Amino acid sequence: LAALLPVYLLTMPDAVGQADTFEFQVVAPQLGIAHPTGYPLYLLLGKLFTLLPIKSVAWRLNVGTMVYGLTAVSLLFVLGCRMKMRGITAVLGATLFGLIPTFWSQAIEAEVYTLHTLFVVLAFLLMREIGGWAVDSEQWTVNSKQWLPIALALVLGLGMTNHLTTVFL
């Protein structure tokens, strides 16, 4: 999965983008409000990336989006492993997902979709650990699972502050 980092960095634009990307790159540094629904979590996190003292503000926001995408792909690998996939299958699946043109294009410019993907994969991982998809649920005790529904509720709540389609989870 570390192989995706240079691919994303080499293809990431350094300049201001177009359409929604442009809007996010202009609104996030000033903590403004984007088009409805406003994407508050994405803009708050984006503001943190604008504080990095390197390159342009547009590039910094693109880096933030890339970090969310790489984290989502990494968690997809973890989910594959937790679902008893062989290591090579989990690596190939996650890497190929990261290289799908649609995901790749959204992971290298300021957009909300990689953060949304991060929340979706994290929610699936938590659901699997709660037991909905558990292959080896006997390893868990009742006490060690008590925090998982709370964590899932937090992830879903935060996910809805980024993209409303989280409600379908």
Distance CA 18, CA 32 (A): 18
Are 12 and 109 in contact, with CB atoms under 8 Å apart?
Answer: yes
The number of residues in the chain equals: 169
CA distance 169 to 165: 8
67-123 pLDDT, tens digit per residue, is 999 999 999 999 999 888 888 999 999 999 999 999 999 999 999 999 999 999 999
Average pLDDT, the chain: 87
pLDDT one-digit tens code per residue, 57-82: 999 999 999 999 999 999 999 999 98
Provide, rounded to the nearest whole percent, the portion of the chain with pLDDT above 90.
53
Cβ(123)–Cβ(167) below 8 Å: no
3-state helix, strand, coil in the chain (%, to 5): 70, 0, 30
Mean pLDDT within 117-145: 72
- The per-residue pLDDT for 139 is 54
Across the range 126-130, mean pLDDT stands at: 88
